[in-house]
Amino acid sequence: MTDVVLVAGAGGVGKTTLAAGIAVSAATSGRRTLVLTVDPARRLATALGLKRLSNVAHPNPDLEELWAAMLDAGASWEAIARRHAPPEVADRLVASRFFDAIARQFPAGAAYAAAEEMAEQVESGSWDLVVIDTPPSSGGIDFLSAPGQMRSLVGGRALKMLTGGRLPGRKSFFDHATKPALRLMDKVLGGGLLQDVGEFLFDLRHTYDGIEKRSKSIATHFEHAHMVLVTTTDPSPMAEVERFVAERPGNTRVPVIVFNRTLPQEWIGATTTETNRRLVENLARWSQESAHQDAVRSTWRSRHDRLTMVEVPWRSETPNEIEALGSLAEPIWARLGIGD
Partner 1 sequence: MSDRLQIVTGKGGVGRSAVTAAIALDAARSGRRVLASAMTDSIGLASHFGLETLGYEPTRIEPNLHAMVVDRAQSLDEYLKMQLGLGKRIPLLPLSRSLEALSETVPGIRDVVTTGKLYHEVRSGNWDLVVADGPPTGQIMSYLRASRVIASLVVSGKAREQADAMTNLLAAPGSSLVMVTLAEELPVTETLEALGELADEELIALRTIFVNRTVEALGVSESVLDDVDDVAVREAGQMHRALYENQKHWRGELPEHVALPLLFGEHDPTAVADRLASAMSS
Task: Please give the residue ranges that form the binding site for partner 1 (CB under 8 A).
Answer: 10-13, 39, 41-43, 97-98, 100-102, 104-106, 136, 153, 157-162, 164, 181-182, 184-191, 193-194, 197, 200-201, 233-237, 264, 266-267, 270, 272-274, 276, 278-280, 282-283, 285-289, 291-292, 314, 316-318
Which sign, positive or negative, has the C-alpha torsion 57, 58, 62, 64?
positive
Chain mean position to CA 296 = 25
Compute the least distance from the CB of residue 287 to partner 1, in Å.
Answer: 8
Give, to the nearest 10 degrees, the angle between helix 109-123 and helix 208-224. 70
Compute the least distance from the CB of residue 128 to partner 1, in Å.
Answer: 30
Query: For residues 33 and 140, which CB has a smaller minimum distance to partner 1 in the complex?
Result: 140
Compute the least distance from the CB of residue 10 to partner 1, in Å.
Answer: 7
Query: For residues 156 and 255, which CB has a smaller minimum distance to partner 1 in the complex?
Result: 156
Do 301 and 309 meet the contact criterion of CB atoms below 8 Å apart?
Answer: yes
Tell me the C-alpha distance between 264 and 105, whole Å: 41
Do 338 and 26 meet the contact criterion of CB atoms below 8 Å apart?
Answer: yes
Query: For residues 283 and 307, which CB has a smaller minimum distance to partner 1 in the complex?
Result: 283
Query: For residues 236 and 251, which CB has a smaller minimum distance to partner 1 in the complex?
Result: 236
Do 150 and 108 meet the contact criterion of CB atoms below 8 Å apart?
Answer: yes
Tell me the C-alpha distance between 193 and 108, whole Å: 24
DSSP letter string, 66-115: EEEEE--HHHHHHHHHHHHS-HHHHHHHHHSTTHHHHHHH-TTHHHHHHH
Do 122 and 221 meet the contact criterion of CB atoms below 8 Å apart?
Answer: yes
Tell me the C-alpha distance between 113 and 134, whole Å: 10
Q: Which residues of 280-309 are buried (b: 16+ CB within 10 A; e: fewer)?
A: eeebeebbeebeebbebbeebeeeeeeeee
> What residue type is 41 in one-letter code?
A
Query: For residues 146 and 225, which CB has a smaller minimum distance to partner 1 in the complex?
Result: 146
Query: For residues 28 and 207, which CB has a smaller minimum distance to partner 1 in the complex?
Result: 207
Compute the least distance from the CB of residue 270 to partner 1, in Å.
Answer: 4
Query: For residues 65 and 240, which CB has a smaller minimum distance to partner 1 in the complex?
Result: 240
Query: For residues 164 and 249, which CB has a smaller minimum distance to partner 1 in the complex?
Result: 164
Compute the least distance from the CB of residue 15 to partner 1, in Å.
Answer: 11
Query: For residues 39 and 212, which CB has a smaller minimum distance to partner 1 in the complex?
Result: 39
Compute the least distance from the CB of residue 286 to partner 1, in Å.
Answer: 5
Compute the least distance from the CB of residue 181 to partner 1, in Å.
Answer: 4
Compute the least distance from the CB of residue 311 to partner 1, in Å.
Answer: 16
Compute the least distance from the CB of residue 251 to partner 1, in Å.
Answer: 29
Do 6 and 225 meet the contact criterion of CB atoms below 8 Å apart?
Answer: yes
Within 13 Å of residue 252, how many CA atoms lie on the same side as its CB? 23
